[in-house]
């Protein structure tokens, strides 16, 4: 990647909980003048190859990625995996297990919603994600679209978040298993959005388990937060990364809002099996 270019290393597509197709991601990245993007859908990689195909004629690099939901000591965390091998049998087998776990969770939430008088079926939710993985966000979209709640966030606040009446716990892999999934496929595991509650205290354990980087640059980080995570990275021998965490939406301008430098991209590449 050329030294004067930048990258957005955290983008979601319609294959998980984003609204943009992989092709739209590539087009918007080109409009933003980016040299590279990484498609990092939740617990699935189906959106990566379409983005790569779309990028061939555009002169932009698509870094194969994924965002894996896992837990450490009962705490949910997310790990980004960069330069993963999309054909790795172990990675794909475990992602298939995660997809089935998400389906099981969705069915449990639908049953609870029906129990309180909200009419929703598995077909209703599947129609909101015809090509990819299904998550709570799709149920939230359904509730908002059908005016059971005012907004998607209201759906989480009233029904779907932990402790709410229709919440069902998601069966996740441990952090060790998630890190191994990335590493075994030649990828580089990075801690996503470390400002999330209670994540910071687990960083030493995550480093011991094989994490190689931390997402210091994120839309929810103010300059003070970013500086703190840069210092944490330096003290733990980690690289830093950054991205917009774009999920699309009515205004698709967040791609490129937070950028990684070419040096960051090459640092990740040097740690990978690529």
- Whether 52 shows a pLDDT value over 80: the answer reads yes
pLDDT of residue 135: 86
**C-alpha to C-alpha distance for 86 and 68, rounded to whole angstroms:** 14
Q: Is the pLDDT of residue 53 over 60?
A: yes
The pLDDT tens digits for 150-171 are 999 999 999 999 899 999 988 8
Q: Which domains does the chain have, with CATH numbers?
A: 6-87+173-271 (3.20.20.140), 95-160 (no CATH)
Tens digit of each residue's pLDDT (9 = 90 or more) over 196-211: 878 999 999 999 999 9
Q: Work out the mean pLDDT of the chain and round it to a whole number.
A: 94
């Amino acid at each position: 990647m050329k030294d004067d270019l930048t990258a957005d290393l955290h983008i979601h597509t319609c294959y998980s909980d984003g609204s943009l197709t992989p092709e739209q991601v590539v087009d918007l990245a080109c409009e933003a003048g980016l040299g590279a993007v990484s498609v990092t859908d939740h617990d699935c990689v189906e959106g990566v190859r379409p983005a790569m195909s779309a990028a061939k004629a555009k002169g932009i690099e698509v870094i194969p990625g994924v965002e894996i939901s896992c837990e450490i000591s009962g705490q949910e965390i997310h790990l980004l995996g960069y330069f993963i091998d999309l054909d790795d049998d172990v990675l794909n087998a475990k992602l298939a297990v995660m997809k089935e776990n998400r389906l099981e969770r969705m069915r449990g939430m639908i049953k609870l919603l029906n129990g309180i008088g909200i009419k929703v079926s598995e077909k209703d939710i599947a129609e909101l994600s015809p090509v990819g993985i299904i998550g709570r966000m799709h149920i939230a979209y359904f509730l908002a679209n059908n005016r059971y709640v005012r907004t998607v966030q209201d759906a989480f606040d009233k029904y779907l978040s932990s402790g709410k009446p229709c919440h069902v716990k998601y069966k996740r892999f441990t952090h060790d298993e998630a890190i191994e999934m990335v590493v075994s496929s030649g990828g580089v595991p990075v801690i996503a959005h470390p400002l999330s509650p209670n994540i910071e205290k687990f960083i030493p354990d995550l480093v011991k388990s094989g994490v190689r980087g931390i997402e210091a640059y994120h839309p929810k980080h103010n300059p003070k937060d970013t500086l703190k995570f840069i210092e944490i990275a330096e003290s733990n021998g980690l690289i830093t990364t950054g991205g917009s965490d774009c999920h699309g939406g009515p205004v698709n301008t967040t791609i490129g809002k937070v950028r990684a430098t070419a040096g960051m991209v090459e640092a990740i590449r040097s740690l990978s099996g690529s």
